[in-house]
């Protein structure tokens, strides 16, 4: 419970930064609030706001979000058995399927503990995320420039904190390093939001390295 609440607090700060940044860039408060409640995927929401406010077509933002959230397909395969058979439970449970709820669930030992962790984490994060986006939007109407308070760095900082334990694994470290390099190099030349999509190429670095073939005579 302590870990879930601390994560919910962190996500509330990130959600507030999303609302403040979106409103300060001209996104209507009702629209970003609805996005926070219906989409409930921080990374894709930040990317969508960046792309649309930079002049990209809405279709580009949608395709970018689908690419960024493609990881939810294996997530569903991993935790689908934790959801009840009825369609209401599976519908709500699918909406709560984010990185943190999946990670907390898979860290448990028994099926009952996995199910409890999944639902507790998902509900807590959703209850923190959606209202914080709205409150952040209200804040954004008053402060003008969210970067003055460092809100533009909240999402990257939260994601970095999430992946730090995984960087001990060499394949993951290679993928993160390559993706970060691609994002930094392409930021000056690509429209806002597209460097994040380009960084997905870094996933290729996580592929197993080819084994050497020894030829014996």
Note whether 195 and 186 are within 8 A (CB): yes
Alpha-carbon span 107 to 204, nearest angstrom: 26
Note whether 167 and 173 are within 8 A (CB): yes
Q: pTM of whole model > 0.85? A: no
Looking at residue 146, its pLDDT comes to 58
Report which of residues 140 and 150 the model is more confident about.
140
Per mean pLDDT, which range of 114-118, 162-166, 173-177 is the poorest? 162-166
- Nearest Cα to Cα of residue 142 among 35, 14, 19: 19
- Identify the band that residue 124 occupies on the pLDDT scale cut at 50, 70 and 90: very high
Alpha-carbon span 131 to 135, nearest angstrom: 6
Note whether 58 and 48 are within 8 A (CB): no
Q: How far is CA 13 from the centre of its chain?
A: 14
Q: Which helix (H) or strand (E) is 43 found in, with range?
A: helix 42-53
- Identify the band that residue 131 occupies on the pLDDT scale cut at 50, 70 and 90: very high
Q: Provide mean pLDDT across the span 180-186.
A: 89
Residue-averaged pLDDT of the chain: 80
Q: Provide mean pLDDT across the span 139-145.
A: 67
Alpha-carbon span 91 to 84, nearest angstrom: 10
pLDDT tens track for 40-81:
887 788 878 877 777 777 787 788 778 778 778 888 888 888
Q: Give 96-119 as a DSSP string.
A: T--HHHHHHHHTSSSHHHHHHHHH
Percentage of residues in the chain having pLDDT higher than 70:
84
For the chain, give every domain's residue range.
Answer: 2-148
- Nearest Cα to Cα of residue 175 among 205, 199, 208: 205
Looking at residue 127, its pLDDT comes to 92
């Amino acid at each position: 419970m302590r870990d879930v609440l601390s994560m919910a607090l962190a996500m509330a700060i990130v959600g507030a930064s999303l609302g403040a940044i979106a409103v300060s860039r001209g996104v209507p408060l009702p629209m970003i609030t609805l996005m926070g409640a219906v989409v409930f995927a921080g990374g894709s929401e930040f990317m969508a706001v960046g792309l649309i406010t930079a002049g990209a077509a809405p279709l580009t933002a949608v395709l970018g979000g689908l690419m960024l959230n493609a990881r939810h397909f294996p997530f569903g395969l991993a935790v689908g058995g934790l959801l009840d058979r009825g369609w209401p439970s599976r519908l709500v449970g699918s909406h709560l399927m984010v990185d943190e709820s999946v990670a907390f669930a898979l860290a448990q030992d028994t099926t009952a503990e996995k199910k409890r962790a999944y639902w507790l984490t998902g509900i807590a994060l959703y209850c923190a995320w959606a209202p914080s986006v709205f409150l952040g939007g209200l804040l954004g109407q008053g402060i003008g420039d969210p970067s003055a308070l460092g809100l533009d760095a909240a999402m990257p900082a939260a994601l970095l904190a999430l992946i730090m334990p995984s960087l001990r694994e060499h394949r993951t470290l290679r993928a993160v390093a390559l993706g970060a390099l691609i994002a930094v190099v392409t930021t000056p030349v690509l429209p806002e939001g597209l460097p994040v999509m380009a960084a997905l190429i870094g996933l290729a670095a996580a592929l197993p390295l080819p084994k050497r073939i020894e030829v014996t005579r």
